Structure 1
Amino acid sequence: MSNNETEVLIVGAGQAGVAMSEHLTARGVPHLVLERKRIAEQWRSGRWDSLVANGPAWHDRFPGMEIANVDADAFAPKDNMADYFTAYAEKFGAPIRCGVEVTSVRKNVGKPGFQVKTSEGTVNARYVVAATGPFQRPLIPAVVPDNEGLVQIHSSSYRNPQQLPEGGVMVVGAGSSGVQIAAELRRSGRQVTLSVGPHDRPPRQYRGKDFCWWLGVLDKWSASAPPKGAEHVTIAVSGAEGGHTVDFRALAASGIKLVGRTDSYENGTMGFAPDLARNIANGDANYLSVLDEADAYITRNGLEFPEEPEARVLGDDPFDVTNPIFELDLAAAGVTSIVWATGFAVDYSWLPDDAVDDNGRPKHQRGVSPESGIYFLGLPWQTHRGSSFIWGVWHDAKYLAEQIMIQRSYLDHMADAPLVPGLTASELSIRSFEEISAVPQVV
C-alpha cells in the first residue's frame, strides 16, 4: 500500500469505523478503513479479562445483526463483542486493512483532499473520518510520584487480581470500571479502598425493565447535551455477574473501604476531599429520580408493570460515610498498588491543526469539523447522550455518511477539478473502488 487513492479514508476499525463503513458501502461510496491493530481491538485487549458490555445484548448492538450465542437480556463478554464487530464487517465486505497505523493527515496544497501518511505508505483521500473513539490516552493524575514504591496502573491496563502484587489495592474512580474492578479485587480476597467522586447511579433494572429501556422511553437518550455542571460526571452501572445496580452500601458491607475524591499525596499519605457523603447522596438522588420518572410513565400510560417498593429502600449510610477519613497512610494500611479508573484523553495530534482546539480536542458540530473534509465519529455526546453507546454510534455514522453524500453532490458540478492529477472525481471513484475491492480483509 505504498501509494493509494480513495474517496473516504476511515481511521479506526472499532465499532465506529465498522458502522461508518457500512453506511458508506450502502451508498456506494468508495472508501478504505485503516486499523493499526485488529478489528475491535479495544474490546479484545484494552480492558480487564472479565469485562462484559454494560448494556443488554438487545440494546448494545447494531440494528442489522444480533450478537451470537448471547441471550438478548444478557450482557455480552468482551470477546463476544469483538467477534461480533468482526463478523459484522465481514457481512458486508468492509474494506479494512489491519496492522496499518495512520501517522499524519495533512491538507493537500493546490488541490482538494488530504495526504495521509501511514506505516505502509501514503494515501490520498478526499475525506477523512477519525473513528478512533474517546479512549485513546489513559489519564493518570499527577498525584503519586512514580518513585514511591507503589505499583500504579490505569484501569485500561488492569486484567485480573493476579496481575497485582500481594497487598491492598486502592481504586481511584467510581464509575462503571472502578466499581467493577474494586468488587472483583475484593472477591479475590484483597483489601480494597475505593475513592468515590461525583457520579450518576441509575438502577440496572426497575419494574422488569433494564435502565437502557427506561432511558429510551423517557426520552433521555436524545438529550443533546449533559446537564450544566455534569459534563464529566461518570455513570456507575454494571453488567457484571448478570447485571446489577451499583450499590455503594453493599460495596462497603462487602469490606471495601469508601473514601472521598482523591486530591493529594504527601509523604506516603493520600488525601481525600470531604465529599464522600455528598457524592453518595447525589448518586442516590439520581437513582430515585429515575424511579420517580419510571413510575410516572407507567401511571400515565396505564401499564401493568410489577410493583417494586423495595427498590426505594436504600438502607443506612455505611460507617465510612458517617465517619469519613480524609487521610490514609498507604503503607500502614497495607496498600501496595493503585488502579486509576480516571478516564481517558483524546489524541488527535495526527490531524490538521485546524481540526482541533488549543487543548487538542476535536472541533466539530455533530461530528462535522470546520476543517472541510474532516469528520469525527465515536465521541461522547457527539450528537446526543446515546452517542457513547453502540447503537448510538451507528446512527451518528449514518448522519456523517449523509453529510458526505451532500458534499459529493456539490462536487458533481465540478468534475473538471481532479482530486488526483490526471483523474476526475468519477474516475477516481472507479479506480478506488476497483483497487480497494481487491484488497483482502485482514482480521
Structure 2
Amino acid sequence: MTATPRHVPVVVVGGGQAGLSVSYHLKQRGIAHLIFEKETAAHTWATQRWDTFCLVTPNWQCDLPGHPYDGPDPDGFMKKDEIVAYLAAFVAKVAPPIREGVAVTRVTRRADGLFDVATSEGDCIANEIVVASGGYHSPIIPRMAERLPGSVVQIHSNQYRNPAQLPEGEVLVVGSGQSGAQIAEDLHLAGRRVHLAVGDAPRCARFYRGRDVVTWLADMGYYEKTVEDHPLRDGVRDNTNHYVTGRDGGRDIDLRRFATEGMRLYGVLEDYRQGSLHFRDNLKRSLDGADRTYNGINAAIDQHIAEMGIAAPAQAPYTPVWEPGEPVTRLALEGSGITSVVWCIGFTPDFRWLDASVFNGAGQPKHKRGITNEDGVSFIGLPWLNTWGSGRFGAVGRDADYLVQVIQKRLGAERPALKFAV
C-alpha cells in the first residue's frame, strides 16, 4: 500500500533570510509550516561571496524580524564573517522547522486545489507555497566563453574568493555592476593588472555633505517608495544596482581613478573570435552615464538639504579625473597578458520546478507585493518585491509580515494553529 503523503499547511522553498523571515512570522501566528532548503540555511553568504565581501548598506539597515543589528558599529558595514554570524544568530532565534539538504523538485496543483510537493526526500501536500529561493539561480556565462583557449581560467563571480585563486597574469573582469566593480577593485588593490569590460551600471557616492548617502536617502523617504510609486513602475525591478563599496569603512568606486592607476577599461564585451576580444564602443557613454546618476543623486540631496534648512558642509559635483582616449574595440588575447576571466554579468532565474501560470516571458514571476494571481502561490526576497529593501535585510521582514497576513486569511484566521508531524 502506498503511504499517504503528509500534509503541511505552508511549504516555504528556500532557507535564506527571506524564507527564515516568513518562518518567523508564521511561528508568531501559530501557523504550521516547513522550510525546504537544498543546502543549509542562509548558506549563500558563506559559500558564494569573496573573502573581502562586505555590505554596501550601513549596518543600521539590517533589521530582520526580531533581530535588528545591535553591534557596536551601526554606521559601519558588516564583513563576510560578521554577516554569516548575524544570520546564524537569526537562525538560532527563529528555530525554524527546516529540512536542510532537501531540494524541491516539483510543485503541481491538485484537483482539490492543494499542491503536490515532490522533494528529494519524499512527497507532501500543501495549502500554500511560498517561493523564497530568490531570483539568482543560474550564473550567466555567455557562449563565447566556450571559444576561449583552455589555457585561460574562467570563473563566475559566485566562485571568486580572492586574487590568489587565479593564476599569475592579468585578469579580465566582465561586467561593472556591484560584483564586477568590487571584484575589479579587490584584484586592483592586490596589485593585479585588471582589464574591465564596463557595462551600463550606475554609481553613487558613499558619503556626501557629511553623511552616508544611504542615510540621506532614508531621510528623504526613498526606501519607503513602493514599486507603484516609482516612475518606472515594474521596470525598476530590471534596474542594475549602483556600484559603491563599504570596504575599509566605505568609499566611492571610481573607475576613472582606477584607470589613472593602470586599470584598463573597455566597453561591453561582445564577442571572442579569431583570437581577439571584441568590445562595444560605449565606454565613454557608460562612464558619463554613471557620473550623471552619481551627481543626480547628490543634487536631489542638495535640494532636500535646502528645503529642510539643514546645516551641512558644501560639496562640489564630481568632475571626471580621467577620460578615455581612442576607443579600443578589439584586443588580441595572445600577447595581452590575460590568463583568467571573471564573469560578473549576473544570473537568470530558474523556477522550472514550479508548475504554475505566474511567470512572464522572461521567466520572472508576476505579482503584487509577492502575491500572484494563482491562489496559494507567493514569492518573497526578490528585488523590489515591494520596495528597494525587499531583497535586502532592511525590508524583507516587513514583506514577510504582509505575506503571512495574506496566508493567514486564506487558511482561516479564526482556526486554531494547524498541527502536523515533521
The two structures have a TM-score, normalised by structure 1, of 0.88
Q: Which amino acid aligns with 1:177?
A: S
Alignment of 1:277 with 2:273, yes or no, is no
Contact 1:16 1:131 in 2 (8 A): yes
C-alpha separation between the residues in 1 aligned to 2:409 and 2:128?
12
Find the counterpart in structure 2 of residue 396 from structure 1.
399
Alignment of 1:375 with 2:373, yes or no, is no
C-alpha separation between the residues in 2 aligned to 1:50 and 1:243?
13
Contact 1:53 1:60 in 2 (8 A): no
Find the counterpart in structure 1 of residue 219 from structure 2.
217
**What SS is found at the alignment partner of 2:339?**
strand
Find the counterpart in structure 2 of residue 441 from structure 1.
none
Find the counterpart in structure 2 of residue 349 from structure 1.
352
Deviation at 1:148, TM superposition (A): 2.1
**What SS is found at the alignment partner of 1:290?**
helix
**What SS is found at the alignment partner of 2:64?**
coil
Alignment of 1:256 with 2:263, yes or no, is yes
Q: Give CA-to-partner distance per residue, 1:74-117, whole Å, 9 cap, x none.
A: 111123222222211321332222121111111123x2321111
Residue pairs, 1:46-85, within 5 angstroms: 46-62=48-64, 64-67=66-69, 71-85=73-87
**What SS is found at the alignment partner of 2:286?**
helix
C-alpha separation between the residues in 1 aligned to 2:262 and 2:63?
36
Contact 1:34 1:101 in 2 (8 A): yes
Q: Cα distance 1:147–1:258, how it changes in 2: closer, same or farther (>3 A)?
A: closer
C-alpha separation between the residues in 2 aligned to 1:127 and 1:394?
19
Find the counterpart in structure 1 of residue 126 from structure 2.
125
Deviation at 1:126, TM superposition (A): 0.5
Find the counterpart in structure 2 of residue 317 from structure 1.
322
Q: Which amino acid aligns with 1:81?
A: I
C-alpha separation between the residues in 2 aligned to 1:317 and 1:227?
32
Stretch moving more, 26-35 or 139-148: 139-148
Alignment of 1:287 with 2:294, yes or no, is yes
Q: Give CA-to-partner distance per residue, 1:258-281, whole Å, 9 cap, x none.
A: 111111211121111111111111
Contact 1:175 1:237 in 2 (8 A): no
Q: Percent identity?
A: 36
Deviation at 1:33, TM superposition (A): 1.2
C-alpha separation between the residues in 1 aligned to 2:226 and 2:214?
14
Q: Give CA-to-partner distance per residue, 1:313-360, whole Å, 9 cap, x none.
A: 424324xx1332111112221111111100111110110142333443
C-alpha separation between the residues in 1 aligned to 2:350 and 2:331?
34
C-alpha separation between the residues in 1 aligned to 2:4 and 2:288?
58
Residue pairs, 1:29-428, within 5 angstroms: 29-62=31-64, 64-67=66-69, 71-109=73-111, 111-146=112-147, 148-149=149-150, 150-221=152-223, 222-224=225-227, 225=230, 227=232, 231-309=238-316, 312-318=317-323, 321-409=324-412
Find the counterpart in structure 2 of residue 431 from structure 1.
419
Stretch moving more, 8-17 or 215-224: 215-224
Stretch moving more, 119-128 or 63-72: 63-72
Q: Give CA-to-partner distance per residue, 1:261-316, whole Å, 9 cap, x none.
A: 1112111211111111111111111111111111111121121223333xx24243
**What SS is found at the alignment partner of 1:370?**
coil
C-alpha separation between the residues in 1 aligned to 2:244 and 2:141?
22
**What SS is found at the alignment partner of 1:235?**
coil
C-alpha separation between the residues in 1 aligned to 2:212 and 2:231?
21
**What SS is found at the alignment partner of 1:349?**
coil
The CA RMSD measured in Å over matched residues stands at 2.2
Q: Which amino acid aligns with 2:311?
A: E
Deviation at 1:64, TM superposition (A): 2.8
Deviation at 1:431, TM superposition (A): 2.6
Contact 1:59 1:212 in 2 (8 A): no
**What SS is found at the alignment partner of 2:57?**
coil
Stretch moving more, 231-240 or 369-378: 231-240
**What SS is found at the alignment partner of 2:89?**
helix
Q: Cα distance 1:254–1:68, how it changes in 2: closer, same or farther (>3 A)?
A: farther
Contact 2:20 2:94 in 1 (8 A): no
